[in-house]
Structure 1
Amino acid sequence: MSRIDIRHDHTLSTEAARDAIEAMAAKLTDKFSLKTQWDGDALAFNGSGVNGQIELLAHQVRVVADLGFPVSMMKGMVEGEIQRVLQEKLA
Protein backbone atom coordinates (compact mmCIF):
# COMPACT_ATOMS: atom_id res chain seq x y z
CA MET A 1 0.00 0.00 0.00
CA SER A 2 1.23 3.46 -0.90
CA ARG A 3 0.51 6.69 0.99
CA ILE A 4 0.05 10.30 -0.09
CA ASP A 5 0.49 13.06 2.50
CA ILE A 6 0.21 16.60 1.14
CA ARG A 7 0.03 19.87 3.08
CA HIS A 8 -1.06 23.04 1.32
CA ASP A 9 -1.04 26.51 2.91
CA HIS A 10 -3.90 28.94 2.33
CA THR A 11 -5.11 32.34 3.53
CA LEU A 12 -8.85 31.72 3.19
CA SER A 13 -11.41 32.01 5.96
CA THR A 14 -12.59 28.70 7.44
CA GLU A 15 -15.87 28.95 5.52
CA ALA A 16 -14.16 29.77 2.21
CA ALA A 17 -11.62 26.97 2.72
CA ARG A 18 -14.44 24.53 3.49
CA ASP A 19 -16.22 25.60 0.27
CA ALA A 20 -12.96 25.13 -1.65
CA ILE A 21 -12.53 21.64 -0.18
CA GLU A 22 -16.10 20.81 -1.24
CA ALA A 23 -15.30 21.97 -4.79
CA MET A 24 -12.06 20.02 -4.78
CA ALA A 25 -13.81 16.89 -3.51
CA ALA A 26 -16.41 17.23 -6.28
CA LYS A 27 -13.64 17.28 -8.92
CA LEU A 28 -11.84 14.32 -7.39
CA THR A 29 -15.13 12.44 -6.95
CA ASP A 30 -15.86 12.84 -10.65
CA LYS A 31 -12.35 11.80 -11.65
CA PHE A 32 -11.83 8.91 -9.21
CA SER A 33 -15.44 7.85 -8.30
CA LEU A 34 -15.05 8.64 -4.61
CA LYS A 35 -17.64 8.84 -1.84
CA THR A 36 -17.21 11.65 0.69
CA GLN A 37 -18.51 12.56 4.14
CA TRP A 38 -17.67 15.38 6.54
CA ASP A 39 -16.63 14.53 10.10
CA GLY A 40 -16.00 17.83 11.88
CA ASP A 41 -13.29 19.66 9.93
CA ALA A 42 -12.22 16.57 7.97
CA LEU A 43 -13.74 15.32 4.75
CA ALA A 44 -13.29 11.54 4.58
CA PHE A 45 -13.24 9.95 1.14
CA ASN A 46 -13.09 6.43 -0.15
CA GLY A 47 -13.39 4.61 -3.40
CA SER A 48 -12.02 1.67 -5.25
CA GLY A 49 -8.41 1.42 -4.10
CA VAL A 50 -8.23 4.72 -2.20
CA ASN A 51 -9.16 5.84 1.31
CA GLY A 52 -8.26 9.06 3.07
CA GLN A 53 -9.27 12.46 4.28
CA ILE A 54 -8.90 16.15 3.57
CA GLU A 55 -8.35 17.92 6.87
CA LEU A 56 -9.02 21.63 7.30
CA LEU A 57 -6.40 23.11 9.63
CA ALA A 58 -5.72 26.74 10.55
CA HIS A 59 -4.25 28.23 7.33
CA GLN A 60 -3.49 24.80 5.91
CA VAL A 61 -5.20 21.84 4.26
CA ARG A 62 -3.79 18.35 4.67
CA VAL A 63 -4.66 15.53 2.31
CA VAL A 64 -3.80 12.01 3.41
CA ALA A 65 -4.66 9.01 1.26
CA ASP A 66 -3.83 5.33 1.33
CA LEU A 67 -3.68 3.84 -2.15
CA GLY A 68 -4.33 0.18 -2.85
CA PHE A 69 -2.08 -1.72 -5.24
CA PRO A 70 -3.73 -0.85 -8.58
CA VAL A 71 -4.02 2.86 -7.72
CA SER A 72 -0.53 2.99 -6.17
CA MET A 73 0.88 2.32 -9.64
CA MET A 74 -0.55 5.75 -10.58
CA LYS A 75 0.59 7.51 -7.39
CA GLY A 76 2.44 10.27 -9.24
CA MET A 77 -0.58 11.09 -11.38
CA VAL A 78 -2.96 11.05 -8.39
CA GLU A 79 -0.59 13.20 -6.31
CA GLY A 80 -0.16 15.66 -9.18
CA GLU A 81 -3.92 15.95 -9.68
CA ILE A 82 -4.49 16.59 -5.96
CA GLN A 83 -1.78 19.27 -5.91
CA ARG A 84 -3.18 20.90 -9.06
CA VAL A 85 -6.70 21.03 -7.64
CA LEU A 86 -5.45 22.33 -4.26
CA GLN A 87 -3.60 25.13 -6.05
CA GLU A 88 -6.62 25.94 -8.21
CA LYS A 89 -9.18 25.93 -5.37
CA LEU A 90 -7.13 27.42 -2.54
CA ALA A 91 -5.18 30.09 -4.43
Structure 2
Amino acid sequence: MSDINVRKEHTLGLAKARKVAMKWAEHAEAKLDLECTMLEGETSDTLEFKRSGVTGQMIVAGDHFEITAKLGFLFKAFAGQFEAETRKQLDEAVAKAEAKAKKA
Protein backbone atom coordinates (compact mmCIF):
# COMPACT_ATOMS: atom_id res chain seq x y z
CA MET A 1 0.00 0.00 0.00
CA SER A 2 1.25 3.46 -0.91
CA ASP A 3 1.53 6.31 1.57
CA ILE A 4 0.40 8.87 -1.00
CA ASN A 5 -2.43 8.29 -3.49
CA VAL A 6 -3.65 11.15 -5.66
CA ARG A 7 -5.89 10.81 -8.71
CA LYS A 8 -6.93 13.78 -10.84
CA GLU A 9 -9.33 13.55 -13.77
CA HIS A 10 -8.82 15.98 -16.67
CA THR A 11 -9.88 16.73 -20.25
CA LEU A 12 -6.44 17.53 -21.68
CA GLY A 13 -5.68 14.48 -23.80
CA LEU A 14 -2.35 12.70 -23.62
CA ALA A 15 -0.16 15.26 -25.44
CA LYS A 16 -1.12 18.15 -23.15
CA ALA A 17 -1.09 15.90 -20.08
CA ARG A 18 2.52 15.02 -20.93
CA LYS A 19 3.41 18.71 -20.87
CA VAL A 20 1.79 19.13 -17.45
CA ALA A 21 3.66 16.07 -16.16
CA MET A 22 6.98 17.36 -17.49
CA LYS A 23 6.47 20.72 -15.74
CA TRP A 24 5.59 18.85 -12.54
CA ALA A 25 8.79 16.81 -12.93
CA GLU A 26 10.90 19.94 -13.48
CA HIS A 27 9.45 21.47 -10.31
CA ALA A 28 9.96 18.23 -8.35
CA GLU A 29 13.59 17.99 -9.46
CA ALA A 30 14.36 21.62 -8.65
CA LYS A 31 12.43 22.05 -5.41
CA LEU A 32 12.21 18.55 -3.94
CA ASP A 33 15.48 17.06 -5.17
CA LEU A 34 13.61 14.19 -6.84
CA GLU A 35 15.15 12.26 -9.73
CA CYS A 36 12.47 11.89 -12.41
CA THR A 37 12.33 9.58 -15.42
CA MET A 38 9.55 9.62 -18.03
CA LEU A 39 8.64 6.33 -19.73
CA GLU A 40 6.39 7.12 -22.69
CA GLY A 41 3.78 4.67 -23.92
CA GLU A 42 1.13 4.63 -26.63
CA THR A 43 -1.89 5.25 -24.40
CA SER A 44 -0.25 6.43 -21.18
CA ASP A 45 3.13 7.37 -19.72
CA THR A 46 4.76 6.59 -16.41
CA LEU A 47 6.79 9.26 -14.66
CA GLU A 48 8.95 7.57 -12.05
CA PHE A 49 10.47 9.63 -9.25
CA LYS A 50 12.77 8.91 -6.36
CA ARG A 51 15.12 10.32 -3.77
CA SER A 52 16.32 9.17 -0.42
CA GLY A 53 13.19 8.27 1.53
CA VAL A 54 10.72 8.61 -1.36
CA THR A 55 9.87 6.43 -4.37
CA GLY A 56 6.84 6.71 -6.57
CA GLN A 57 5.26 7.17 -9.93
CA MET A 58 2.78 9.30 -11.81
CA ILE A 59 0.62 7.62 -14.42
CA VAL A 60 -0.12 10.14 -17.17
CA ALA A 61 -3.17 9.25 -19.27
CA GLY A 62 -5.34 11.19 -21.68
CA ASP A 63 -8.06 11.59 -19.06
CA HIS A 64 -6.34 11.38 -15.66
CA PHE A 65 -3.19 11.55 -13.59
CA GLU A 66 -2.52 9.09 -10.80
CA ILE A 67 0.31 9.59 -8.33
CA THR A 68 1.40 6.94 -5.85
CA ALA A 69 4.40 7.13 -3.55
CA LYS A 70 6.02 5.19 -0.75
CA LEU A 71 7.64 7.22 2.00
CA GLY A 72 10.55 6.17 4.13
CA PHE A 73 10.30 6.05 7.90
CA LEU A 74 11.37 9.67 8.43
CA PHE A 75 8.76 11.01 5.99
CA LYS A 76 5.76 8.87 7.03
CA ALA A 77 4.71 11.35 9.73
CA PHE A 78 4.24 13.97 7.00
CA ALA A 79 2.31 11.77 4.54
CA GLY A 80 -0.91 13.78 4.92
CA GLN A 81 0.86 17.07 4.28
CA PHE A 82 2.74 15.66 1.29
CA GLU A 83 -0.46 14.26 -0.20
CA ALA A 84 -2.36 17.52 0.31
CA GLU A 85 0.41 19.57 -1.31
CA THR A 86 0.71 17.12 -4.20
CA ARG A 87 -3.05 17.27 -4.77
CA LYS A 88 -3.03 21.09 -4.63
CA GLN A 89 -0.17 21.42 -7.13
CA LEU A 90 -1.76 18.93 -9.53
CA ASP A 91 -5.18 20.61 -9.26
CA GLU A 92 -3.62 24.00 -10.05
CA ALA A 93 -1.56 22.66 -12.97
CA VAL A 94 -4.57 20.91 -14.54
CA ALA A 95 -6.85 23.94 -14.06
CA LYS A 96 -4.27 26.19 -15.71
CA ALA A 97 -3.73 23.80 -18.63
CA GLU A 98 -7.48 23.28 -19.17
CA ALA A 99 -8.12 27.05 -19.10
CA LYS A 100 -5.34 27.56 -21.64
CA ALA A 101 -6.77 24.81 -23.87
CA LYS A 102 -10.22 26.42 -23.80
CA LYS A 103 -8.78 29.75 -24.97
CA ALA A 104 -7.02 28.11 -27.93
Aligned residue identity for 1:73: A
Does 1:87 pair with 2:91? yes
Instruction: String of CA shifts for 1:28-85, please: whole Å, max 9, x gaps.
Output: 2233210000112100000111001010123010001011111111111211111111
User: Which has the larger strand fraction?
Assistant: 1
Larger Rg: 2
Taking the aligned partners of 2:9 and 2:2, their CA distance within structure 1 comes to: 23
Moved over 3 A (4+): none
Percent of aligned pairs sharing the same letter: 33
TM-score, normalisation: structure 2: 0.80
Taking the aligned partners of 1:77 and 1:89, their CA distance within structure 2 comes to: 18
Q: Who is 1:17 aligned against? A: 17
Q: Who is 1:8 aligned against? A: 8
Taking the aligned partners of 1:75 and 1:30, their CA distance within structure 2 comes to: 20
Aligned residue identity for 2:5: D
Unpaired runs of at least 5, structure 1? none
Q: How well do the aligned residues superpose, as a CA RMSD in angstroms?
A: 1.5
Unpaired runs of at least 5, structure 2? 96-104
- 1:2 deviates by 5.6
Instruction: Give 3-state SS (helix, strand or coil) of 1:66's partner.
Output: strand
